[in-house]
Amino acid sequence: MVMHMSFSVAVAGASGYAGGETLRLLLGHPEARIGALTAHSNAGTPLGAHAPHLRGLADRVLAPTSVDALAGHDVVVLALPHGASGQIAAELPPETVVVDLGADHRLTSAEAWQEYYGSAHAGSWPYGMPELLHAGETAPARQRAALAGTRRIAVPGCNVTAVTLGIQPGVAAGLIDPDIVAVLSVGYSGAGRSLKPHLLAAEAAGSALPYAVGGTHRHIPEILQNLGLPDARLSFTPVLVPMSRGILATVTAPLAAGATADDVRAAWSAAYDGEPFVQLLPEGQWPASGWTTGANTALVQVAVDRKAGRVVAVCALDNLVKGTAGAAVQSLNLALGLPETLGLTVEGVAP
């Protein structure tokens, strides 16, 4: 029998959606001991007032978020708004494994950070997407290796994960031209749980609403960074649709000259062969976001539209699991030397 070391973990932003989902996964993780839980405006209230589905932690009172409250744990998860984690992270001990669910440490380019986030750049950490392909790779190797033993993890954005996993095999294998169009159906929970008028049920239920249209979304530089194509054309349009969780990303790009449908199938297949959490579906079966609900799974399908001369890739995932908290636990497992799949499931909740 393999024995593992347990670890203590504090979660900052425990009253939010991403923090709550991280706690749900950690409650099912055999090695996690949940320590301090912190919040901001809701400090001093019990977690059960905000996440009543987390029965095992319902009576735990949220502390104000501070370095003192978080230090002293083996792992600290920061589930805070953009810009709030940089300062705290800088003051945590170097031996602590710090997992940032926000964007603060994702971008390597300070200029891109300034352009899209408009504040001082906190720096860049190893990127929490084990399945990321690097230039010249056809199967993930280097990113997984970069996460092994690391003490700092920048967890990707959820839309970024869907687009990257959908199209990256074609980029890595040179099968598409860098003129990418991504249209995403996204669920409400991606926006967090603070009150926003366009998320009121009276306005959002039964309706579809595009946002951040016209090249303004903050995920654009992150996707281009992942694909190793800083100068590529990327048209990115998210559309809010009436679902609580989930992302369905449809990503298309011109098929490169001389490339065939067989080349495409072979590249996507090689990229995800043996991956525990990213699965290329059997030819002809297109994923639904609902199949991934609650699971750390990204489901991918690809085809060539011969008349349009384009590759069409679709990726479905749960924004709060593979899009955030699941990616965090998966990367954390690698950082701690635990089996990558510990505490995670590929099986979704349906219907």
Ligand X SMILES: CC(=O)N[C@@H](CCC(=O)OP(=O)(O)O)C(=O)O
Ligand Y SMILES: NC(=O)C1=CN([C@@H]2O[C@H](COP(=O)(O)OP(=O)(O)OC[C@H]3O[C@@H](n4cnc5c(N)ncnc54)[C@H](OP(=O)(O)O)[C@@H]3O)[C@@H](O)[C@H]2O)C=CC1
**Cβ proximity to ligand X, 103 vs 175, nearer residue:** 103
Asked whether 319 and 300 are in contact (CB, 8 A), the reply is: no
Q: How far is the CB of 222 from ligand X (least distance, A)?
A: 7
Q: Is 344 in the site for ligand X (CB under 6 A)?
A: no
Alpha carbon distance 122, 104 (integer Å): 6
When binding is defined by CB under 6 A, the residue of 13, 86, 169, 190 that contacts ligand X is 190
- Residues 100-129, interacting with ligand Y (CB under 6 A): 101-102
Residue 243 near residue 207, CB atoms below 8 Å: no
Is 240 a binder of ligand X (CB under 6 A)? yes
Cβ pair 234, 182 in contact under 8 A:
yes
Give 191 or 288: the residue with its C-beta nearer to ligand X: 191
Q: Which is nearer to ligand Y, 63 or 176 (CB)?
A: 63
Measured in residues, the chain has a length of 351
Q: Which two three-digit tokens encode residue 246?
A: 């989930």
Cβ-based nearer residue to ligand Y, 255 or 298: 298
Out of ligand Y, ligand X, none, what residue 39 binds, judged by CB under 5 to 8 A for its kind, is ligand Y
319 is a site residue for ligand Y (CB under 6 A): yes
Q: Interface with ligand Y includes 195 (CB under 6 A)?
A: no
Q: Is 194 an interacting residue with respect to ligand Y (CB under 6 A)?
A: yes
Note if 315 is an active site residue: no
- Please give the size of the binding site for ligand Y, defined by CB under 6 A: 30
Cis peptide before 287 (omega within 30 of 0): no
The one among 71, 148, 191, 346 contacting ligand X by CB under 6 A: 191
The entry of ligand X, ligand Y, none near residue 84 (CB within 5 to 8 angstroms by kind) is: ligand Y
Q: 78, 98, 154, 158: which one is catalytic?
A: 158
107 binding ligand X? (CB under 6 A): no
Burial track 324-345 (b if 16+ CB lie within 10 A, e otherwise): bbbbbbbbbbbbbebebebbbb
Stretch of 17-25, 109-117, 226-234, 290-298 contacting ligand Y, by CB under 6 A: 17-25
d(CA 142, CA 133): 8
| 103 lies in the binding site for ligand X (CB under 6 A) | yes
Binders of ligand X in range 245-304 (CB under 6 A): none
* Closer residue to ligand Y in complex, CB, 155/227: 155
Phi and psi, residue 86, nearest 5°: -55, -50
Residue 134 interaction partner, one of ligand X, ligand Y, none, beta carbon < 5-8 Å per kind: none
The distance of closest approach from Cβ of residue 47 to ligand Y in the complex, given in angstroms and rounded to an integer, is 10
Q: Is 238 in the site for ligand X (CB under 6 A)?
A: yes
Return the range that interacts with ligand X (CB under 6 A); candidates 4-12, 184-192, 229-237, 286-294. 184-192
Under rule CB under 6 A, residue 144 binds ligand Y: no
| 159 belongs to the binding site for ligand X (CB under 6 A) | yes
Where do contacts with ligand Y occur on this chain (CB under 6 A)? 13, 15-19, 39-43, 65, 79-82, 84, 101-102, 157-158, 189-190, 192-194, 319-320, 323-324
The residues carrying an active-site annotation are 158
Where do contacts with ligand X occur on this chain (CB under 6 A)? 102-103, 157-159, 186, 190-191, 219, 238, 240
